[in-house]
A and B are shown apart, each in its own frame.
Chain A
Amino acid sequence: DGGITQSPKYLFRKEGQNVTLSCEQNLNHDAMYWYRQDPGQGLRLIYYSQIVNDFQKGDIAEGYSVSREKKESFPLTVTSAQKNPTAFYLCASTGTDQETQYFGPGTRLLVL
Chain B
Amino acid sequence: SQKIEQNSEALNIQEGKTATLTCNYTNYSPAYLQWYRQDPGRGPVFLLLIRENEKEKRKERLKVTFDTTLKQSLFHITASQPADSATYLCALDKAPLNSGYSTLTFGKGTMLLVSP
- Tell me the A residues contacting B by CB distance below 8 Å: 4, 31, 33, 35, 40-43, 45, 48, 50, 56, 58, 88, 90, 92, 98-106, 108
Q: Hey, which chain A residues are within 8 Å of B32, CB to CB?
A: 99
- Binding site of B, secondary structure by majority: helix, strand, loop or mixed? strand
Whether the Cβ atoms of B96 and A43 lie closer than 8 Å is no
Would you list which residues of chain B between 1 and 60 have a CB under 8 Å from chain A?
A: 4, 8, 32, 34, 36, 41-46, 49
Let me know if B34 and A98 touch, CB within 8 A: no
Separation of A90 and B104 alpha carbons in the complex (Å): 14
**A101-B46, A103-B44 given. 17 additional CB < 8 A pairs?**
A33-B103, A35-B106, A40-B8, A42-B4, A42-B109, A45-B103, A45-B105, A90-B44, A99-B49, A99-B102, A101-B34, A101-B91, A101-B104, A102-B46, A103-B45, A104-B43, A105-B42
B89 interfacial by beta-carbon distance below 8 Å: yes
Interface pair A99/B34, CB less than 8 Å apart: yes
Chain A residues lying within 8 Å of B4, measured Cβ to Cβ, are: 42
29 A-B pairs within 8 Å (CB atoms) are namely A4-B43, A31-B101, A40-B108, A42-B4, A42-B106, A42-B107, A42-B109, A45-B104, A48-B103, A50-B101, A56-B96, A58-B103, A88-B41, A92-B43, A98-B102, A99-B32, A99-B49, A99-B93, A100-B34, A100-B49, A101-B34, A101-B44, A101-B46, A101-B104, A103-B44, A103-B45, A104-B43, A105-B43, A106-B42
> How many chain B residues have a CB neighbour from A under 8 Å?
25
User: What is the interface of chain A mostly: helix, strand, loop, or mixed?
Assistant: strand
A35 shortest CB reach to chain B, Å: 8
Chain B residues with Cβ below 8 Å from A108 are 41
Q: Is the CB of B89 within 8 A of A43?
A: yes
Q: Are B49 and A103 in contact (CB under 8 A)?
A: no
Please determine whether B43 and A42 come into contact, CB atoms closer than 8 angstroms: no
Please state if B44 and A41 are interface contacts (CB–CB under 8 Å): no
**Which residues on the A side are within 8 Å of B96 (C-beta)?**
56
> Which residues from chain B contact A90 at a C-beta distance below 8 Å?
43-44
Residues in A whose Cβ lies below 8 Å from that of B102: 98-99
